A and B are shown apart, each in its own frame.
Chain A
Amino acid sequence: MQPNQPTGDWQRLPRASVTAERQYVGIKYTIYLLLIGTATVVQVKWLDLSPWWMWILAGLWTGFFLLQFVYIPKIRQKYFKYRVDDEFLVVEFGIFILRHVVTPLVKVQIIDTSSGPLLRRLNLMNMNVHTASGQIELPGLDVTQAVLLRQRIERFAKLEEQEEESL
């Protein structure tokens, strides 16, 4: 058995994936803000309270918003990369913990792709690669990139593993 040589270059997430994630986070936090605002108004107007605790909520909101809107999408895009080594999928990712995962393509069982309206507008796609032991998420791939990757993986789905004995 000859060891594989790395055959592919590192593929990265497109810049648009940052935009997509920001749009998503933006919408989510707008809804949260509206909820917080409504709660505050209700408490002040109808319940005659001076809700200092809403400041805490507002602070938390700001903190998480900054983190999730400004930093995390950029970090994710910066560190996420994948490549296909002959018959292995190699993915590196992680926000706080850096992970480097290698999984053989023959072990892949299901590939599912999904894209919501936000992703579709930017021509992006989420991809989940399932094996019998779990899944690898590839968020916000370019559609052409995703289709190419899927084709490469699909080729291996038909092949036979060295080890497949029944009882």
Chain B
Amino acid sequence: MTRRVHPLFILMTTLTQLRSLVIPIAVILFNDLKNDGFGMYTMIGAVVISFLLLVFGIISWYFYTFTIDEQSIRVNKGIFRKSERTTQRQRIESIGINQNLLERILGLATLTVETSSDSGKPEVELKGVRLEFAKQLKSTIATRVSQPTEHTVPAATYTVGLMDLIKAGALSGRLGLALVGFGAVYQFANRFIEKYISRAFDELLHLSLVLLLILGGLLLLLIYLGSILVFVLRYGAFRATREKERMTIGYGLLNRTEVVFHQDKVQALVIEESWIKRRLKRAHLSLHIISASGEEEKLLLHPFIRTGEIDSFLQEFLPRFQLQHPHKRAVDRGFFYVVRWPLLGYSLGLILLNGVMVYGLPEPFRYFGLPFLLLLPVYYAVARSGYQNTRYGHHDDLFVLRKELVNRETIYAPRLKIEAFSGHVSRFLEQKDILKFQLTLRGSSVFHAGYFTQAEFEDVLAWYQQTFLKPPTPPAGTPLSGDE
């Protein structure tokens, strides 16, 4: 079937283009108002431009067609420079439906089809299809023609509650950022005061400094709450469904995104447990997939799952990935080389901060930064015990690599999905018989952890270097085993 997208597409493109013209229009309007009211020419210009945009929208709508058949999806577009793009269905990694605010108001959606091509952009992008139609289209694309449909497994669905989302947003690492911002605001406020208020108001200055500190704190709190709000808006109404091998994940309160993919296209499962989430026994699950949601390759699977429930959750929704405890520990002598650069960075940062504070602040506040230096040994101790958990392991066809200093990140990748396995080490450390492991997955994302020994590397290679080929199909005429 060759079809066109919904005519509301015209309105949408026109509005989008008008939106990009907002600044020049505003400048012209402002200029006009500064003189006396709207000039005749401005009116004519506005009418002509709107008309041209509308005509452009209609023509581009007319030439924007797509065809979907059993083998491929074809999209034709372009007025002067025609383009035609054909995508083989077999190569589809995932399909997504995105709706921005404008599209939601108009009841339209953008359908994206992602393949593992080099460019970061989705291979097919159908703008302005009706939501209902997009859903229908998605399911026609997503059902394999040859898929057996006799036994229907009931679809399993889960959602993430609002409280969990708020907590996840609150703990998603923005606290640290807020603290850094706090320091910056403090420095700024301090400079401001020294410059503009004379020493005669020294008493008052202290008072206002405290006041400013409180104000700054409030501001940061607002920013922090805002970041939680953004998180909730972004991932709100999270809903995932598994239907046989097909998985659909949808989220977003304002801009709605829905991604559908085959379970076998999942490249890896990533479990992130920051130190604070570990205390709460919660984890953040994401999938590595060539996803049609565009900007990120990590697709959220669950933002705030109880660690005890991961096992049963995976069994239900991602049976290919089972939790397992990786056994091989990182070598102790590697710890120093892992920790030296972050430690040096933090030390320098803290020393610099303290230097600035000691020189730039009035008496009582001068030494407030010094206690923070105590964080360094604490960091060292935490990292030391965390490093013990940097591990790897492989079981059947699944490779597990865990990296931990303060936060823990574990990746589960099936062997057949690992595009390249490599070890790397600087020449200086080569003699110490240690190296880092690195997994490269489709779509140029890389995970590495270390340090392990050369012998362990050889061991993993022996596991990795098993055949990737399909077993040869038996020649015609051979009776199929297990058939009657």
Contact = CB atoms under 8 A, between A and B. Distances in A.
A104 B420 CA distance: 7
Nearest to B465: A4
B265 A165 contact: yes
A2 interface: yes
A87 B467 contact: yes
A115 interface: no
A166 B115 CA distance: 11
A107 B417 CA distance: 10
Interface in A119-135: 131-134
A104 B462 CA distance: 13
Interface stretch (A32-40, A56-64, A156-164): A156-164
B416 A133 contact: no
Given A2-B466, A3-B462, A166-B89, A133 B441 contact: yes
Contact of B423 (A1, A99, A165): A99
B378 interface: no
A159 B469 CA distance: 7
Nearest to B466: A1
Given A132-B116, A133-B420, 17 more contacts: A4-B465, A87-B467, A97-B424, A97-B427, A98-B425, A100-B424, A100-B457, A101-B420, A101-B422, A102-B464, A107-B468, A133-B419, A133-B444, A159-B470, A163-B264, A164-B90, A167-B144
Contact of A167 (B261, B427, B444, B464): B261
Given A3-B465, A133-B441, A102 B144 contact: no
A102 B441 contact: no
Contacts of B461: 102
21 contacts: A1-B466, A3-B462, A3-B465, A4-B466, A85-B465, A94-B424, A96-B427, A97-B424, A100-B435, A102-B422, A102-B461, A103-B421, A107-B419, A159-B470, A161-B469, A162-B469, A162-B470, A163-B416, A165-B265, A166-B92, A167-B260
B321 interface: no
B468 A96 contact: no
A153 interface: no
Contacts of A132: 116, 419, 442-443
Contact of A103 (B417, B420, B435, B463): B420
Interface string B435-466: 10000111111000000000001000111111
Q: How many B residues touch the partner, as a band?
A: 35 or more
B338 to A, nearest CB: 15
B423 A106 contact: no
B302 to A, nearest CB: 22
Contacts of B424: 94, 97-100
A107 B116 CA distance: 12
B481 interface: no
B77 to A, nearest CB: 24
Interface string B347-365: 0000000000000000000
A101 B470 CA distance: 23
B443 to A, nearest CB: 7
A159 B472 CA distance: 10
Contacts of A1: 466-467
A17 B447 CA distance: 32
Nearest to A4: B465
Contacts of A96: 426-427
Contacts of A104: 419, 468
Interface residues of A, number: 34
A88 interface: yes
Contacts of A165: 245, 262, 264-265
Interface in B403-435: 416-417, 419-427, 430, 435
Contacts of B417: 163
A52 B91 CA distance: 60
A85 B92 CA distance: 30
Contacts of B442: 132-133
B141 interface: yes
Contact of B465 (A88, A101, A107, A134): A88
B440 A134 contact: yes
Contacts of A163: 264, 416-417
Contacts of A101: 420-422
Contacts of B416: 161-163
Contacts of A2: 466-467
A98 B427 contact: yes
Contacts of B90: 164, 166
B149 to A, nearest CB: 15
A167 B262 contact: yes
Given A87-B467, A167-B246, A100 B423 contact: yes
B175 interface: no
A99 B90 CA distance: 34
Of listed B89, B91, B262, B427, residue having the most chain A CB within 10 A: B427
B318 to A, nearest CB: 15
A100 B441 CA distance: 16
Contacts of A133: 419-420, 440-445
A160 B469 contact: yes
Nearest to A134: B444
B171 interface: no
Nearest to B262: A167
Nearest to A136: B420
